[in-house]
C-alpha cells in the first residue's frame, strides 16, 4: 500500500514538509486505541537469531534507525512499533537552532537517494530531555551529539560535554558527530589532533561516571585511507567503543539523476543507495585495519537483507537505515528481519 499509493502522493510535495506531516500523522494515529498494538503485531519480528550483543548492550535485532529522522526524540514509542532494534536521536546541540535555509531536503528517486543540508536543526537539549523523559518504550536509544553552528571549533569540546552530561541518564550510548557536511568547518574536527582531543575530553568525562556508557564516532565516507588509519589509531588510543560508518557524502559520482537537477539542488550530503559501495569499502578497511577489534555500525544504502549481510560480512555488527525507510516504507525493518530469519 505504501509504495503503490502513499509514496507517489508524498513524493508530489516538498520532502521536509512531508516529513513533518508524517510525524503529525503518526502522533495522531497512535493516540487511537489499538493502533500501536496492530502496528507492532504487523511489524515487530522477534527471534533469538536476530539478537546482537555489541559494546555491552543487547539488541533485539541489528537494524536501527539512523540519526536525523527523529532529531528531538519525539516519536520513540511510535517508531519502536515499526520493529527497529534501536533508535538514534539527534544530532542534538546545546542550544536550539533553525538549521540552514529551506528548501534543504531533496529526493533523487532515480537513485533511491536523498540530499540534505539540514544543518543540525533541532529544538535543543532542554526540549530533547523533556521528550526522552516521557517515553515508555525500553528500546535502546543512541544520543547523537554535535556543536552549535556559532560555536567555534576551538570551543567545540564544551558543546559536546554539555550534551553528554544532559543526555547521560536518558540514552544508552553516545555518538560524537563531526562528519556532517552541512555545518561550516565541522569536518575539520575529523583531523587527527582536534579529534583526539575532542574524544579524549568526552571519554574523560565518561570515565568519571559510576557506569560509563559506550561512545561511538560517526565518520564521513569521504576520508582517505590515510585518514581512516588515523581514525583507527584515535579510537584505540581514546578507548571509545566503536565507529559509525558512514555519514552522508559530498560526492556526486555515478548518479542517474541529471547534472542539471543536481546543480539545481546544490550542496548537501547524499544518502541512500549510491552510498552503499563506499560505505562497505570503509567498513571493510576499518575492520581489517583494526583486526576486527572495533565494533562498527554500518549506514548507507541498506534496504534489503542482502544489504545487511554485505555490511556484516565487511565487518559491521549492526546497521542503521534512514533513506530506505522513506523509499521502502514502514514495513522495511519487518521485511529485512523476516528475510534474515529465513
- Give the residue numbers marked as catalytic: 180
Tell me how far apart the alpha carbons of residues 283 and 194 are, in angstroms, rounded to a whole number.
23
Tell me how far apart the alpha carbons of residues 43 and 216 are, in angstroms, rounded to a whole number.
28
Contact 91, 53 (CB under 8 A): no
Tell me how far apart the alpha carbons of residues 161 and 170 are, in angstroms, rounded to a whole number.
15
Rg (C-alpha) for the chain, rounded Å, is 19
Cell 565518561 belongs to: 206
Contact 307, 316 (CB under 8 A): no
Contact 300, 221 (CB under 8 A): yes
Give the helix/strand (H/E) hosting 233.
helix 225-238
Contact 290, 240 (CB under 8 A): no
Closest C-alpha among 258, 105, 100 to residue 186: 100
Amino acid at each position: 500500500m505504501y509504495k503503490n499509493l502513499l509514496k507517489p502522493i508524498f513524493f508530489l510535495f516538498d520532502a521536509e514538509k512531508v516529513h513533518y506531516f508524517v510525524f503529525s500523522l503518526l502522533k495522531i494515529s497512535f493516540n487511537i486505541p489499538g493502533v500501536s498494538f496492530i502496528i507492532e503485531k504487523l511489524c515487530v519480528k522477534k527471534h533469538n537469531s536476530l539478537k546482537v550483543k555489541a559494546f555491552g548492550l543487547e539488541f533485539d535485532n541489528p537494524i536501527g534507525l539512523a540519526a536525523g529522522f527523529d532529531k528531538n526524540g519525539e516519536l520513540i514509542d511510535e517508531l519502536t512499533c515499526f520493529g527497529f532494534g534501536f533508535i538514534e536521536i539527534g544530532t542534538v546541540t546545546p542550544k536550539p537552532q533553525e538549521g540552514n535555509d529551506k528548501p534543504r531536503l531533496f529526493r533523487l528517486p532515480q537513485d533511491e537517494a536523498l540530499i540534505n543540508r539540514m544543518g543540525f536543526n533541532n529544538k535543543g537539549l532542554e526540549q530533547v530531555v523533556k521528550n526522552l523523559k516521557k517515553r515508555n518504550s525500553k528500546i535502546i536509544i543512541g544520543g547523537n551529539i554535535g556543536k552549535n553552528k556559532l560555536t567555534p571549533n576551538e570551543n567545540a569540546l564544551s558543546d559536546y560535554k554539555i550534551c553528554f552530561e544532559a543526555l547521560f541518564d536518558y540514552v544508552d550510548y553516545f555518538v560524537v558527530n563531526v562528519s556532517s557536511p552541512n555545518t561550516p568547518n565541522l569536518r575539520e574536527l575529523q583531523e587527527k589532533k582536534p579529534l583526539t582531543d575532542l574524544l579524549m575530553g568526552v571519554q574523560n568525562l565518561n570515565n568519571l561516571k559510576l557506569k560509563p556508557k559506550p561512545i561511538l564516532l560517526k565518520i564521513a565516507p569521504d576520508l582517505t585511507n590515510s585518514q581512516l588509519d588515523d581514525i583507527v589509531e584515535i579510537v584505540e588510543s581514546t578507548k571509545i567503543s566503536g565507529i559509525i560508518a558512514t555519514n552522508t557524502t559530498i560526492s556526486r559520482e555515478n548518479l542517474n539523476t541529471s547534472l542539471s537537477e543536481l546543480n539545481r539542488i546544490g550542496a548537501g550530503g547524499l544518502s541512500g543507495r549510491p552510498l552503499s559501495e563506499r560505505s562497505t569499502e570503509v567498513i571493510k578497511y576499518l575492520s581489517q585495519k583494526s583486526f576486527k577489534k572495533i565494533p562498527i555500525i554500518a549506514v548507507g544504502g541498506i534496504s534489503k537483507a542482502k544489504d545487511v549481510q554485505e555490511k556484516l560480512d565487511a565487518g559491521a555488527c549492526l546497521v542503521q537505515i534512514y533513506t530506505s525507510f522513506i523509499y521502502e516504507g514502514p514495513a522495511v525493518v519487518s521485511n529485512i528481519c523476516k528475510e534474515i530469519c529465513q
